[in-house]
A and B are shown apart, each in its own frame.
Chain A
């Protein structure tokens, strides 16, 4: 690895498509999400750059670590979450079908890295010493066991269909054969993936770990100031990362195309497709009530798993 490659790697992880790009897009998308939520709820809602203002305000606040907290875990958890998400962005195709970092079986690494934020939130909650945070972290573990199996099983179905664990290969398969969304055998699995993503992003009806009327803010109860700003950014980047993964899995990934005489670059295609996925989750979270944790687990392990298994059987049996 020469000097230029190292420089390229640093640029990729810190600026594009890593930390800076993902954060800016993430904050913007969640800002739009809040605006759309406002309109769906018959109110005006905040301006779409509200998340940036919130971020700036939180960064200037006092940095508090509670006396009861285990300091290294409590401080390290948000950084670990954001770091792992910046790493995920390197593995996801953003500006073209090629991700910045190529691995043979990158789907496994992506699934693994997408779990780190959840686990660090659980650790942060347990280490903070607040009963609300501990209750929230306990709920998050249960929810993790619910959605993660559905998520992995559905992605495995897509991998079986295409016959590869490489995201770039899945995208090139879709370039040749059309979007996987249009394949009726995979449709149940794709619905299951979207349901799992709703739980992964802690959006209603699965915002159970941070149910504010029951356990304040769940694992994040004791977080404030810059640490909360990092958590918020991590959450926003997670939204983008999950949406990007879904785009690559069944919406054909970022592809350039010509519209009339105008050449539209792949990055615009990526932004449009991820935006659509984020808006879908926004609409869903505004038209349902929050379910209980036992109901959520039951829902995932019956309905979610059933959908994924049906799809898996269809893919394996139907030629």
Chain B
């Protein structure tokens, strides 16, 4: 006999409201249904109502953790539509903040993963070390989380020479603690007993279900937009694409932890090699009809923006595909066959970010057909 365990829409394992309906036999999971859409905010519609400049701030607010990825990706897409090239120094500043974001996002992942397996001390320590990265971001941009650094055609804030020593000092602290966590992850028996061999995503499944980012890399798929479709300063930076072969939670964790070491190296290289020059180029925001796709490797994987312009200051259409949206189908093979105790850590091994990912589809309950809502209908519902 199977029993249904509802995880969500409100549940301590979830940081945002979504609904997972687990069918369990004792402790074993036999099936899972995933219902998304509880955090839908209508962002794409809002994009098409504001001008290009306002949309930078809107795109930052799609995701709090990876806000720079969103605004960088959006700005670069607009630059591509308008056919302009930002200055070299701006590209380096973008890469610098993107890598800092990767470090703090992965440290947050580590903290919450520790909490999910009941290791609250590691949770607190990882959050403590994350503060160093937040401080670095505050030094550069004035904001610990939302940095509002990007502009269309470049960046708004510079890294001055006086800031560099403090940044390098914090970077050393971060590197020390990351190396400690790598060692801890590989040696602590309780962590290994919870992470090894659970939530396995095979290489075939990862390719078939289009997993992106660290999830795919942990299954041995060497995919990284920084290498596959280089942007910002990445063509000039030397780094290694981290892959693991096991595809379990341990491998996903190790990919993230080792990526942090690479990111620390990259930040050092950027601070050393950053060229001098202007920060932004002027842009005429009346962009003639055109369309473009831009991809960025966010901490969670490939982030995609599609923009179509129509000659006015307001984009015709902006489409966002967030990494969680691309990776979500891989959850099912990871869950089925596991136990209830694995649900939180397996779910979190994807580093899920639901609010970024939610869409809305109207399905007629009688016929089961999905349909598109016209603008008129939407207006009528709102009033």
A41 to B193, CA, bound (A): 22
A289 within 8 A of B: yes
Q: How far is the CB of A307 from chain B (nearest CB, A)?
A: 17
The answer to whether the Cβ of B125 comes within 8 Å of any Cβ in the partner chain is yes
Whether A287 sits at the interface, judged by CB under 8 Å, is: yes
Across-interface contacts of B11 in A (CB, < 8 A): 216
| Residue pair B121, A214 in contact (C-beta under 8 Å) | no
| B241 within 8 Å of A (CB atoms) | no
Determine, out of B132-140, B224-232, B336-344, the stretch whose residues face the partner at the interface.
B336-344
Would you call B125 and A135 a contact (CB within 8 A)?
no
- Please name the residue on chain A nearest to B14 by beta carbon: A213
- The reply to whether B120 and A292 form a contact with Cβ atoms under 8 Å apart is no
Contact, CB under 8 Å: B190 / A131: no
- B348 — nearest CB in chain A belongs to which residue? A213
Cβ 8 A contact of A135, one of B5, B115, B118, B121: B5
B124 and A207 contacting across the interface, CB-CB below 8 Å = no
Flag B108-144 by CB within 8 Å of A: 1 or 0 each.
Answer: 0000001111111111110010000000000000000
Nearest CB of B to A229, in Å: 21
Closest to A286 in B: B121
- Check: B3 CB closer than 8 A to any chain A CB: yes
Q: A212, B12: Cβ atoms under 8 Å?
A: yes
Task: Give chain A nearest CB distance to B350 CB in angstroms.
Answer: 15
Interface centre among B114, B116, B191, by most chain A C-beta atoms within 10 angstroms, is B116
From A42, A289, A291, give the contact of B114 (CB < 8 A).
Answer: A289
Cα(A212)–Cα(B344), bound, Å = 10
User: Given the interface contacts A41-B124, A42-B128, A289-B114, does A215 sit within 8 Å of B190 by beta carbon?
Assistant: no
Chain A residues, Cβ within 8 Å of B169:
none
For the complex, give the distance between the alpha carbons of A41 and B27 in Å: 31
Residue B4, interface by CB 8 Å: yes
Most buried by A among B5, B128, B342: B5
The number of chain B residues with a CB under 8 A from chain A is 33
Report which of A131, A208, A287 forms a contact with B341, defined as CB distance below 8 A: A208
**Cα A286 to Cα B190 with chains together (Å):** 12
Of all chain B residues, the one with the shortest Cβ separation from A292 is: B341
Q: Mark A14-30, 1 if CB is under 8 A from B, else 0.
A: 00000000000000000
A residues near B4, Cβ cutoff 8 Å: 131
Q: Any chain A CB within 8 A of the CB of B222? A: no
Residue ID in chain B nearest A206 by CB atoms: B118
Cα–Cα distance between A112 and B128 once the two chains are bound (Å): 44
| Distance in angstroms between the alpha carbons of A211 and B345 in the assembled complex | 12
**Contact assessment for A291 and B12 in the assembled complex, using a CB-CB cutoff below 8 Å:** no
**In the complex where A286-B121, A288-B119 touch, is A293 in contact with B3 (Cβ < 8 A)?**
no
Residues A98-150 near B (CB distance < 8 A): 131-132, 134-135, 138
Q: B343: which A residues are within 8 A, CB to CB? A: 214
Most chain A beta-carbon neighbours within 10 Å: one of B11, B12, B191, B343? B12
A289 lies within 8 A of B194 (CB): yes
Q: How far is the CB of B120 from chain A (nearest CB, A)?
A: 7
**Could you tell me the distance between the alpha carbons of A291 and B117 in the complex, rounded to whole angstroms?**
8
Min C-beta distance of B380 to chain A, whole Å: 39
How many angstroms from the CA of A205 to the CA of B119 in the assembled complex?
A: 9
- A216→B12 contact, CB < 8 A: yes
B274: CB under 8 A from chain A?
no
Chain A 37-54 per-residue mask, 1 if CB under 8 angstroms from chain B, else 0: 000111100000000000
- Contact call B340/A43, Cβ cutoff below 8 A: no
Interface hits, B7-44 → A, CB 8 Å:
11-13, 26-27
Indicate if the CB atoms of A41 and B3 lie closer than 8 Å: no
Residue numbers in B under 8 Å from A41 (CB-CB):
120-121, 123-125
Contact A211 to B124, CB < 8 A, known contacts A205-B190, A290-B119, A290-B194:
no
Contact of A288 among B26, B190, B339 (CB under 8 A): B190
Residue from A131, A213, A290, A293 within 8 A of B27 (CB atoms): A293
Using Cβ atoms and an 8 Å threshold, which residues of chain B touch A8?
Answer: none
B364 at the interface (CB under 8 A from A): no
The answer on a CB contact under 8 Å between B188 and A214 is no
Q: Is the CB of A204 within 8 A of B340?
A: no
Within 8 Å CB of B288, what residues of A? Answer: none
> Smallest CB–CB gap between A126 and chain B, Å?
13
- Bound-complex Cα distance A291 to B119 (A): 10
Q: Does B6 contact A (CB under 8 A)?
A: yes
Measured CB to CB, the closest approach of chain B to A46, in angstroms, equals: 14
B118 touches A40 (CB 8 A): no
Which residues of chain B come closer than 8 Å to A211, judged between CB atoms?
118, 341
A138, A289, A292 — most chain B CB neighbours (10 Å): A289
Which among A286, A287, A290, A294 has the highest number of chain B CB atoms within 10 Å? Answer: A290
Chain A residues with Cβ below 8 Å from B193 are: 291-292, 295
**CB neighbours of B344 from chain A (8 A):** 213-214
CB contacts (< 8 Å) of B13 on chain A: these are: 213-214
| Complex contact A131–B3 (CB within 8 A) | yes
Given known contacts A287-B121, A289-B117, A290-B119, A131 and B339 CB-to-CB distance under 8 angstroms: no
Task: List the interface of chain A (C-beta within 8 A of B).
Answer: 40-43, 131-132, 134-135, 138, 204-205, 207-208, 211-216, 286-295
Could you tell me which B residues sit within 8 Å of A by CB distance? Answer: 3-6, 11-13, 26-27, 114-125, 128, 188, 190-191, 193-194, 339-344
Q: List 20 A-B contacts (CB under 8 A).
A: A41-B120, A41-B124, A134-B3, A135-B5, A205-B118, A207-B118, A211-B118, A213-B13, A214-B340, A215-B340, A216-B12, A287-B121, A288-B119, A288-B190, A289-B190, A289-B194, A290-B119, A292-B193, A292-B341, A292-B342
